[in-house]
Structure 1
Amino acid sequence: MTRSRGDVFEGDDRQYSPTRLHGWLQLVNGSGRVRPELLTRAELAALSTRELVRHNDRRSVWHANIGPIWTPQLRGLHEDLAEIVESNRHDGDKAKPAALVDAYPGLGKSTAVREYGRTLYREQITLRGETTADGQRRVPVIYIALTGNTHIRGLNAAICRFYGLPTSGDADTLAERAVDAVLSLKTVAFIIDDVHFLAGSRGSSMRMANQLKFLSNVFPVTLIYVGVGVRQRGLLREGFSPEQTLFAQFGRRTTPLTLRPFTVEDEPGRQEWRTLLLTVERQLTLADAYPGMLADDLSDYLYARSTGHFASLMALVNRGCLRAIRNGHERLDSELMNQVKNDAAAEDARTELVAAIEAGLLTSRPSAHQTARRPA
């Protein structure tokens, strides 16, 4: 909610780091944003300069934080994660099976897993209460993100840093400190993002497997790993050499999950894409927005420019809305969107998709909606 105090306007920016307990609690317990009022052009023109600036500020932060959008991919991932976590009621002497969410960049996997962590955290608090039996704060889920070339000590330090514990000492000291926190605060799940950094640019899959095995042996929690290309490193591979045996052990304890991009090669895929665009466009607060602005008139265009990747799509729409507000255009169309820059990966793949669409070899629009587009 926008915070005003006298003539002070704070807006609704929420700056925090979910890799610290204080920031994670802001994410978990934060209230939903209130959508800014949708004003007509006449109503915008009637605002004073100060009122207009503040209204546009509210619109900008709203468009930057649309979501979560409950796509079929997100729902499926949450169901799979819940099944793994809720079945992990093993005693402390047994290793709990882990989950590995491994997908291409730009599909929203980190956002999706954080949202699951938020849901799980709230469910645990509802079930068991905010405090433990000895009066400490209950912290059911923690979230950490790794950096390049992380070693075991760095892993343990990241866990301690999340809890607000000292990060001095060797790897074993940090591990003991972190385990004490897990047990006393009743943590049931770790979300470990960017797990592919464990191998480092010069590291080996063997070292990564050792570190992940260490985590599962030391911490009595469900480990939810998030990364890119982790399976390709061979971590879930079985074999007979000592290295492959370690991989096989990790593979037997880990369930691989993924998020798929939106594809439009068949009718169900095109319908999914249309549903997503309809959902997004209903959230936009542009004076000249209209039903079908995205889902009909910009469907192929947005698919070509995002390649069906959720993060690329949302970045494009967010920046387009900002430009439309700043220049008074108040709607999205291809002329305005052509001025908006997007991520390199999406732009690199754009030319081939545009050619296929223009040649009639590909369309993102379901057959029932392949009608003439609204004139500009």
Structure 2
Amino acid sequence: MSTASERLTIPGDDRQYSPTRLDGWLELVNGPKREQPEKLTRARLTALSERARRVYNDRRDVWHANLGPFKTQQLLELHEGLSEIVGSNRHDGDKAKPAALVDAYPGIGKSTAVREFGRDFHLREIELRGATTAAGHRRVPVVYIALTGNTQIRGLNASICRFYGLPTIGDADTLAERAVDAVLSLRTSVFIIDDIHFLASGTSNTARMVNQLKFLSNTFPVTLVHVGVGVRERGILSEGNSLAQELHAQFGRRTTPLTLLPFQVENEEGRLAFRRLLLTIEQKIVLADKYQGMLANDLADYLLARSSGHFASLMALINRGCYRAIRTGAERLDVELMNSVKNDAAAEEARVELAAAIEAGLLSARPKSLSRKKS
């Protein structure tokens, strides 16, 4: 029976913040890196007291829930494209800065990837130019906001003011002036606007979306990095002869589309990249019976089928698998355990077709070059 001291609460290492607020963004940028818990053998696990085991498992839970981001080839290519756009946008204030549009399927990890770019850019700017401006204000190189359903111009401006901690009272023009003053005072140079597909969402509001994005470009002397789903399909980058299409074309001329692709295993390069990711994740997993090749060899095809190559689905599956492995005492990931782990609906829907292709030998995540070496 546990003593009173053993029943004391465990604070944990959960970091509750919102990157859409300045304090939260600074926590994301400057927060200390988590330390990977030590991998204990089963004998050492058994020797722990009940409380010590709970503390250790709690540390493992929060560790597995926050794995990454991992420098995949897709992420590196996206960061290279963003760096080129942002780094070359040294235009004076009287010139509109070209924007970037990161448009990709949901669950690919695009928001995480773009936030990581913003974090790196923020740190580089502070290192190069100092934490304060010449006027003595805090330097805030990056603003990150995430939109909600059917956001209009006033709501967009309010989100920017809310990030800075400014009042959100007033009409759209008042909020815009307030936000511009903050941009100039705090020397902000990049706006990351996530979920822009929520801008004036509706069946006939594509033109309004274009107008809102043009408003941002004309009002704020920053590089705009838009992040969304299915934005290009709405035609906002298309050219045409009508006035509306001409507005779209003008926006398209100022915007460079980028994307983040799912993992592709149709060729050897893709299979090797997927394997490198699984090997990297393996090194980060803290389970007593983890072994080399647990993911990359024994579960590669299984994880491909369960995640359909989408990074968010893959990481959710592994995180939940580790949680179950700890709670059940399995202390390893295998097909039997993973079959009891639930994943998102989209991944589960694609699972049957992918699993059938793998079973028929039409698809595999395992590199053929490694198979030949073993034989």
Paired with 2:212 and 2:147, the residues of 1 have a C-alpha distance of 13
Paired with 1:126 and 1:113, the residues of 2 have a C-alpha distance of 20
Which residue of structure 1 lines up, in the alignment, with residue 194 of structure 2? 193
Deviation above 2 Å: which 4+ runs of structure 1?
368-373
Which residue of structure 2 lines up, in the alignment, with residue 290 of structure 1? 291
1:68 aligns with 2:69: yes
**CA deviation profile, 1:336-356 (whole Å, cap 9, x unmatched):** 000000000000000011111
Residue pairs, 1:210-289, within 5 angstroms: 210-289=211-290
**CA deviation profile, 1:57-88 (whole Å, cap 9, x unmatched):** 00000000011100001111111101100100
Paired with 2:200 and 2:260, the residues of 1 have a C-alpha distance of 22
Which residue of structure 1 lines up, in the alignment, with residue 81 of structure 2? 80
The question of whether the paired residues in 2 share the 8 Å contact of 1:149 and 1:203 is answered with no
SS of corresponding position for 2:10: strand
Question: Where in structure 2 are there 5+ consecutive unaligned residues?
Answer: 1-7
Residue pairs, 1:322-361, within 5 angstroms: 322-361=323-362
Cα 1:147/1:75, change in 2 over 3 Å: same
1:134 aligns with 2:100: no
Which residue of structure 2 lines up, in the alignment, with residue 145 of structure 1? 146
| Aligned residue type for 1:249 | Q
Which residue of structure 2 lines up, in the alignment, with residue 181 of structure 1? 182
Which residue of structure 2 lines up, in the alignment, with residue 311 of structure 1? 312
**CA deviation profile, 1:273-314 (whole Å, cap 9, x unmatched):** 111111111100000000000000000000000001111000
Paired with 1:180 and 1:302, the residues of 2 have a C-alpha distance of 49
Offset, 1:200:
1.3
Which residue of structure 1 lines up, in the alignment, with residue 166 of structure 2? 165
Aligned residues: 367
Offset, 1:103:
0.2
SS of corresponding position for 1:124: helix
**TM-score normalised by the chain length of structure 1:** 0.96
Which residue of structure 2 lines up, in the alignment, with residue 100 of structure 1? 101
Offset, 1:203:
4.7
Offset, 1:176:
0.3
Paired with 2:244 and 2:222, the residues of 1 have a C-alpha distance of 25
Paired with 1:249 and 1:10, the residues of 2 have a C-alpha distance of 53
Offset, 1:240:
1.1
1:207 aligns with 2:211: no
Offset, 1:367:
1.0
The question of whether the paired residues in 2 share the 8 Å contact of 1:296 and 1:369 is answered with no
SS of corresponding position for 1:223: strand
Offset, 1:318:
0.1
Paired with 2:338 and 2:326, the residues of 1 have a C-alpha distance of 13
Cα 1:371/1:45, change in 2 over 3 Å: farther
| Aligned residue type for 1:301 | Y
Which residue of structure 1 lines up, in the alignment, with residue 52 of structure 2? 51
Paired with 2:174 and 2:69, the residues of 1 have a C-alpha distance of 39
Paired with 1:357 and 1:8, the residues of 2 have a C-alpha distance of 47
Paired with 2:204 and 2:174, the residues of 1 have a C-alpha distance of 24
SS of corresponding position for 2:238: coil
SS of corresponding position for 1:282: helix
Offset, 1:8:
5.8
Offset, 1:370:
3.4
Paired with 1:371 and 1:309, the residues of 2 have a C-alpha distance of 28
| Aligned residue type for 1:331 | R
Paired with 1:24 and 1:270, the residues of 2 have a C-alpha distance of 35
Offset, 1:324:
0.2
**CA deviation profile, 1:156-214 (whole Å, cap 9, x unmatched):** 00000000000000000000000000000000000000000003134511000000000
SS of corresponding position for 2:336: helix
SS of corresponding position for 2:284: coil
| Aligned residue type for 1:23 | G
Offset, 1:11:
1.4
SS of corresponding position for 2:134: coil
**TM-score normalised by the chain length of structure 2:** 0.96
| Aligned residue type for 2:282 | E
Paired with 1:252 and 1:315, the residues of 2 have a C-alpha distance of 38
| Aligned residue type for 1:253 | R
Paired with 1:343 and 1:8, the residues of 2 have a C-alpha distance of 32
| Aligned residue type for 1:177 | R
Paired with 2:279 and 2:188, the residues of 1 have a C-alpha distance of 39
The question of whether the paired residues in 2 share the 8 Å contact of 1:267 and 1:366 is answered with yes
Which residue of structure 2 lines up, in the alignment, with residue 3 of structure 1? none
Paired with 1:77 and 1:355, the residues of 2 have a C-alpha distance of 32
Root-mean-square deviation (Å) = 1.3
Paired with 1:249 and 1:226, the residues of 2 have a C-alpha distance of 19
SS of corresponding position for 2:11: strand
Offset, 1:111:
0.2
| Aligned residue type for 2:213 | L
SS of corresponding position for 1:10: coil
Paired with 2:145 and 2:330, the residues of 1 have a C-alpha distance of 41
SS of corresponding position for 1:225: strand
Question: Where in structure 1 are there 5+ consecutive unaligned residues?
Answer: 1-6
